[in-house]
Amino acid sequence: MTDPTPDVPESDAVDESVLVAARRAKLLRLRDELKVEPFGSRLDGLIELAQARRLFCEEAHLARELASKAARDAAASGAPVASGAPVTQLPDARVEVRVAGRVVQHRDMGKIVFAWLRDASGDLQVSVSKSEVDSLSFELAKMLDYGDIISIEGRVGRTQRGEVCVWAASVTMQCKSVEPPPGKWHGLHDAEVRYRRRYVDMSANPETMRVFEARSRILQSIRRFMDGRGYLEVETPMMQSLAGGAAARPFVTHHNALGMPLFMRVAPELYLKRLLVGGMRRVYEINRNFRNEGVDRSHNPEFTALEAYEAFGDYHTMLELTESLIHGLAVEAAASSAAASSASADANSAQAVTGQPRLPFGDLSIDYSRPFARVTYRELFTRALGFPVEDTAAVRAKAAADHIEGAGTKNSWLLVNELFERHAEALLDPARPTFVLDYPSAISPLTRPMRGNEAIAERWDLFIAGMEIGPAYTELNDPDIQRAKLTEQLAGADVEESTFRSLDEDFLTALQVGMPPAGGMGLGIDRLVMLLTNSQSIRDVILFPLMRPVGASLATPQGGTE
């Protein structure tokens, strides 16, 4: 190689749009001409923009206005200034602050520059007057681009129009942005770009930031609630040699050193139950499950679930726990949205005060007041279908009429459940959280049958806004029945299912050691966050939802067929 390779390939510069080129030119100018480091360094003593806004004091502002006007008049009249001090050294009661943020608006008026900064707490204007800052600071202020991150030292005042702002004493570049951001006014609407490049979404759309802040607070509240009830938070394997605990297709991966396949877990259930065997009385886990299924508005292949088990509890224990948890979360959400809309005494805030939490969800207004609605499976089934679950002939006839596969051959209970999902769930009031209780045992292999009515499993499912939020069970702790049910379930598996399903012998051994009677519960956290933040898609509450790669070729591992 005889040609020296330039630091920056020429081709990059050629391909760049004029927008990027303009920003790169400014980057060079900062370094070469202004001798400024464009990417900043540690900064202590920063306060949030919202906090700086709260430090505004009208009296201090007015006093400062009077003092500087007097000084200007004196200078204009040629009279000697009494104090002899320049304006910048007059007493000034306005609070001094140091703030930083991303530039989201920029107006260069010639000898004064206005810019809006944004941080997670909100937006705040900064004003840079040529007569009040050093020449470097002013030059920086003039050459700002939308997207740059700067810090400002100055005093909190306001403009003639009443806009609270920081009047800069100095301006420092903290990070030059080289990538053109989306438009300042319309923001970023393209759902695809919002999900693929969430960082742009977050800085361009403050609502997005609010949703994920809310998600974080919700998770904190859940942990506080569970901890308060004496539950211990644990973490169990997400890579398992057997994927059990749910009838879902797992993702398969491979451990090189051990030379063995591994499954991403579809549920933590079998491990959490082992902990009950081990002696933990109340355990919960909040973590990811992975299911190799389709993607839609309420499904992401990896999703966050809460699972909780309480020794010596049952499904009624878990119902009270769940109802209390979700009610509490809804009250908090209603209160914080009421606080957000502050002074306006709208319906929501009034209801929050009276403990009647009502939260909007799309076109619905969901009422989370206690108690949630309850209905039994068989009651709902009969109401929807017009015949009871035991009427096998009617079940088969209706299944055939609905063109359900295997209407004549399948186990009647499986048909019952198909019919239930098609017809009965639609009867539930989407605006009222509803517990559906007492499912057929035949479709609940990990659930203890009701004593005295073996056909019914002590299980409920919670539905809100038409979504299944989570189930709960009185757990089965008879090892022999458990083995029989799991074996029976395996026997019904098709060819594909049998490649990833097998009997978890160690789990059965654990049950033989002995698990106390227990209640268990699972909650889909993403769906719950959707409800509490009025988000219509699960992708709006997952920071980085799964997207197909674009442009780059897909990796095709061996065995990749079809």
Partner RNA sequence: GAUUGCGUAGCUCAGUCGGUAGAGCAAGCGGCUUUUAACCGCUAGGUCCUGGGUUCAAGUCCCAGCGCAAUCACCA
**CA neighbours closer than 13 Å in the CB half-sphere of residue 233:** 13
Q: Is the omega angle on the peptide bond into residue 206 within 30 degrees of 0, that is, cis?
A: no
Q: Compute CA distances 507 → 291, 511, 512, whole Å.
A: 21, 6, 9
**Closer Cβ to RNA, 84 or 551, answer by number:** 551
Question: Where are the extended beta strands (E) located within 465-528?
Answer: 467-474, 518-524
When binding is defined by CB under 7 A, the residue of 246, 330, 399, 518 that contacts RNA is: 246
**SS3 per residue for 116-164:** EEEECCEEEEEEEEHHHCCHHHHHHHHCCCCCCEEEEEEEEEECCCCCE
Among 14, 18, 82, 495, binds RNA (CB under 7 A): 18
The answer to the question of residue 268 lying near RNA (CB under 7 A) is: no
Under rule CB under 7 A, residue 102 binds RNA: no
- Among 51, 105, 241, 317, indicate the residue that binds RNA (CB under 7 A): 105
Binders of RNA among residues 433 to 472 (CB under 7 A) are: 443-447, 468, 471
Can you tell me which of 50, 81, 85, 109 binds RNA, judged by CB under 7 A? 109
CA 287 to centroid of chain Cα atoms: 13
Query: What tokens appear for 447 in the block?
Result: 């659930």
130 or 370: CB nearest RNA: 130
Q: Is 279 in the site for RNA (CB under 7 A)?
A: no
Identity of residue 88: T
Question: Residue 302's closest CA among 530, 547, 557, 560?
Answer: 547
Nearer to RNA, 42 or 548 (CB): 548
**376 near RNA (CB under 7 A):** no
Of these, 101, 181, 250, 313, which contacts RNA (CB under 7 A)?
181
Asked if 539 touches RNA (CB under 7 A), the answer is yes
Out of 160, 344, 409, 558, the only residue in the binding site for RNA (CB under 7 A) is 160
Using alpha carbons, select from 224, 250, 229 the residue that is nearest to residue 239: 250
Q: How far apart are CA 166 and CA 152, in angstroms?
A: 8
Q: State in angstroms the smallest separation of the CB of 314 from RNA.
A: 15
Q: Which of 94, 98, 102, 106 binds RNA (CB under 7 A)?
A: 106
Q: Considering only the stretches 41-49, 54-62, 78-86, 192-200, report the one whose residues sit in contact with RNA under the rule CB under 7 A.
A: 192-200
Q: At what angle do helices 315-340 and 206-228 cross, to 10 degrees?
A: 140
Cα separation, 154 vs 424, in Å, equals: 64
Contact between 304 and RNA (CB under 7 A)?
A: no
Phi, psi of 512 (to 5 degrees): -70, -35
Which of these segments, 244-252, 256-264, 337-345, 364-372, binds RNA (CB under 7 A)? Answer: 244-252
Contacts to RNA by CB under 7 A: 17-19, 22, 26, 105-112, 114, 125, 127, 129-131, 145-146, 159-163, 165, 180-193, 195, 246-249, 291, 293-297, 299, 443-447, 468, 471, 473, 522, 536-537, 539, 547-550, 562
